[in-house]
Chains A and B, each alone.
Chain A
Amino acid sequence: MLPLNECCYRLNHLDTPWDIETYIENGGYQIWKQVLAGELSPQEIIDEIKTSNIRGRGGAGFPTGLKWSFMNRAAPGPKYILCNSDEGEPGTFKDRDILRYNPHQLVEGMMIAGYTIGATAGYNYIRGEFWEPYKRFHNAIEQAREAGLLGENILGSGYDFELHAHLGAGAYICGEETALIESLEGKKGQPRFKPPFPASYGAWGKPTTVNNTETLASIPVILAKGGEWFRDLGVENAGGTKCYAVSGHVEKPGNFEVRMGTPFKDLLEAAGGIWKGRELKAVIPGGASTAVLPGEKALAMNMDYDSIAKSGSFLGAGSVIIMDDHTDMVKACERLSWFYHEESCGQCTPCREGTGWMYRVIHRIRQGKGRPEDIELLRNVGGKIMGKVICGLGDAAATPVSSFLEHFEHEFRHYIDHGCSIFDRQ
């Protein structure tokens, strides 16, 4: 039996897991009280998080303990902890369920993180479409405040901390941390140059740490059960559990919190296997911006950073998109290209122009108007975006196209040669 839901989704099976009573009955806010009582110092917390070997769950996989240690806790003036709940990578829906079903664990995680880095306030940036998750999180803040766990001189500790939710308004790019900060400041969500990094110049110009929802929601459990416990759930290069969002052609799509290093085939089985009794054709293992893999490669890999990297892709946000043997890969690639064209913020010319160019070329191939040189043209345009723009969206846009071409070039060629997909008998 696959061990499920040991950390962020640990309360999902309960009737009202979003209520503070349920959370407290299940050990909630115990760590926060220990922190306020001075039983856990910021350095001890950082050491424990480093021991846990947790890596950022938003997609980049940066070690969380190390990120927190970049903040100068003693620096005077306001500092901020930001949570990135701008979940918008196609195929990703894991944070939505943390917000809906375990908002208090996220509140506690944000408060502990805030204390550790010396923050005066925290903001959770929630995507604008997530109204129900926003309400759940906002209510959790209100309940925590009523319980005296948040605000001024919390539980007589002399420590003040404020926490708020912020709502976006529809822009994928705001999941990039400096675009998120711009958006929080009431501007277009266009990424900033780095350096300076947010730890020195973040929200409203103040030192800021940005962490993903799943990362922050994991913190109270890591500290309650110990960094070693969390580390040992995972594999050598990545500790703990991971929430995988499985979508596409499976019988039971949904979120599955499993241990790092779980074989892909076990995760696929947990999601009910391929639907309609069909065969697996391809997998996008980490969300739309990670490379697509042929089914046979995916079946041989485990769900952790190193194993997926060895297979030629990336764990990303853990957003597993499954495609069966009836899938037109050119159509799938065309749809992803449209997404990046639509969501490019327009700041850097190679991305703004290149994403549209790639979409238009794939679109004309799909229309049966492709030219033999289009394959090379697509590779060329992708190569002129990657590494030549401010943020990761450019690479995110080029990766799907290059990987679809790497593994499924014959489907593009078929469109170009015959004017139709490999499934059309013309």
Chain B
Amino acid sequence: MSAASQGMIQGDVQSRIDKWVARYPSDQPQSAVMAALRIVQEANGGQLTTALMDEVADYLGMTPIAVYEVATFYSMYEHQPVGRHKLCVCTNISCMLRGSDELLDYMKQKLDVEVGQVTADGKFSIKTVECLGACGGAPMMMLGKDYYENLDEKRVDEILDGLE
């Protein structure tokens, strides 16, 4: 690896990426790019940077543009700052039918923040997302790697007030 890959991709981050690389045919390390981007994004506080994408490209033997394409195509990669807690609120049809628009308004008001922005203390950001495949528990949101279902204002209060 070149000197450029001595940044984020080392130690634990590197061994996690290597485990993904090992899942694919030995001549296809590019298949691990989605996992690698997720792992470096997590290690960087939830956001990608050009330097990180370049590092991934270098590590997996890809051209930078091929990594940028992937990093901008999929919705879970972030290119702007996010809060320590990123609230991904589903507003698709099944959630909408059970009040996600009203719930989203409540969350915006409670946290005093707009969709796509971060609270002044850096603690929260809100993102609206497309169907997360948990419509039986609508309305729902994803927070970190966990789903929170059957939400109402009281439940949202409990969840958000309990976060550090």
Q: What 1/0 mask marks residues of chain A from 235 to 279 whose CB sits below 8 Å from any chain B CB?
A: 000000000011111000111000000000000000000000000
Query: Of B4-12, B23-31, B102-110, B153-161, which stretch is located at the interface?
Result: B23-31
Cβ of B132 < 8 Å from any Cβ of A?
yes
Cβ of A159 < 8 Å from any Cβ of B?
no
Q: Which residues of chain B in 50-95 are interfacial with respect to chain A, using CB atoms and an 8 Å cutoff?
A: 60, 62, 66, 69-70, 73-77, 88, 91-94
Interchain CB contact under 8 A, A321 and B28: no
Cβ of A420 < 8 Å from any Cβ of B?
no
Q: Which residues of A contact B142 (CB under 8 A)?
A: 129
A255's nearest neighbour on chain B, judged by CB, is B136
Q: Which residues of B contact A21 (CB under 8 A)?
A: none
With an 8 Å Cβ cutoff, the count of chain B residues facing the other chain is 44
Interchain CB contact under 8 A, A187 and B69: yes
Interchain CB contact under 8 A, B73 and A130: no
Interchain CB contact under 8 A, B30 and A185: yes
Q: Is the interface of B mostly helix, strand, loop or mixed?
A: mixed
Interchain CB contact under 8 A, B34 and A169: yes
Interchain CB contact under 8 A, A249 and B30: no
Q: Which residues of A contact B38 (CB under 8 A)?
A: 128, 167, 169
Interchain CB contact under 8 A, B91 and A335: yes
Supposing A91-B135, A131-B145 touch, asked if A332 and B93 sit within 8 A by C-beta, the answer is yes
Cβ of A172 < 8 Å from any Cβ of B?
yes
Q: Which residues of chain A in 350-373 are interfacial with respect to chain B, using CB atoms and an 8 Å cutoff?
A: none
Cβ of B162 < 8 Å from any Cβ of A?
no
Instruction: For the complex, give the distance between the alpha carbons of A254 and B134 in Å.
Output: 9
A176 CB to nearest chain B CB (Å): 14
Q: Identify A132's interface contact among B23, B70, B93, B147, CB under 8 A.
A: B147
Question: Could you name 30 residue pairs across A and B whose Cβ atoms are closer than 8 Å?
Answer: A90-B94, A90-B130, A90-B131, A91-B135, A129-B132, A129-B142, A166-B31, A167-B38, A169-B37, A170-B76, A184-B31, A185-B30, A186-B30, A186-B62, A187-B66, A187-B69, A245-B135, A247-B135, A248-B94, A248-B135, A249-B97, A253-B135, A255-B136, A288-B92, A321-B93, A335-B92, A335-B96, A336-B93, A342-B130, A345-B73
List residues of B whose CB falls within 8 A of some A CB: 23-25, 28, 30-35, 37-38, 60, 62, 66, 69-70, 73-77, 88, 91-94, 96-98, 129-138, 142, 145-147
List residues of A whose CB falls within 8 A of some B CB: 78, 87-93, 95-96, 123, 127-132, 164, 166-172, 183-189, 204, 245-249, 253-255, 284, 288, 319, 321, 323, 327, 331-332, 335-336, 339, 342-343, 345
